[in-house]
């Protein structure tokens, strides 16, 4: 999954409806300590690995309720999280050039290592809800139940 195809946005933000209209799908949601409900939207439906989940949760955990405009740069991977008007955008391809640009110089910057990011996410007091990944189990259970019902019907009659 390409992280630049993801965005964190509040459920009550007008941008959420715009992303929904453009067929973006929620993959994660969480309630912050201040009570705000954030959704991580992505262009494609996908399951998340633990590393991807950690990378997606990092910007929420790092800002910790202070959603001021900020650029968070992961120096080892060349990725960045850009907070603007309480919406978080992920950047992969152009992160280092943005950090060195006028935009990067005009807002607060944080440069982190992967270890620091993992430590912040692991120590955060949040619970994220995954929206995709369990469909195969639900569909499999439904198919087994239908086959069992059809077998019982065929056996009885």
What pLDDT is stored for residue 150 in this prediction? Answer: 94
* Residue-wise pLDDT tens digits, 5-18: 778 888 888 888 88
The per-residue pLDDT of the chain, averaged, comes to 76
Dihedral angle, C-alpha 45, 77, 106, 124, nearest 10 °: 70
Cα separation, 98 vs 93, in Å, equals 10
Stretch (H or E) spanning 72:
strand 70-74
Mind listing the pLDDT tens digit for each residue in 29-73? 887 777 778 888 888 777 777 777 777 777 777 766 566 677 777
The percentage of the chain sitting over the pLDDT mark of 90, rounded to a whole number, equals 8
What's the pLDDT score for residue 147?
95
pLDDT reported for residue 1: 43
* All residues at 6 or more sequence positions from 48 whose CB lies less than 8 Å from its CB, including other chains: 1, 27, 28, 56, 130, 132, 133
Q: Is the pLDDT of residue 2 over 60?
A: no
Kindly state the tokens that stand for 137. 């189990």
């Amino acid at each position: 999954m390409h992280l630049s195809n993801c965005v964190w946005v509040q459920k009550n933000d007008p941008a959420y409806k715009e992303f929904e209209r453009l067929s973006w799908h929620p993959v994660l949601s969480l309630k912050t300590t201040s009570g705000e409900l954030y959704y991580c939207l992505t262009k494609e439906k996908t399951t998340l690995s633990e590393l991807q989940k950690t990378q997606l949760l990092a910007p929420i955990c790092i800002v910790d309720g202070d959603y001021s405009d900020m650029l968070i740069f992961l120096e080892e991977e060349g990725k960045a999280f850009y907070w603007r008007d309480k919406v978080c955008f992920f950047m992969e391809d152009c992160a280092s050039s943005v950090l060195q640009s006028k935009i990067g110089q005009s807002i607060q910057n944080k440069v982190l290592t992967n270890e620091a990011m993992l430590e912040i996410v692991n120590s955060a007091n949040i619970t994220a809800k995954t929206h995709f990944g369990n469909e195969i189990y639900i569909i499999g259970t439904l198919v087994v139940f239908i086959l069992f019902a059809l077998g019982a019907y065929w056996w009885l009659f």
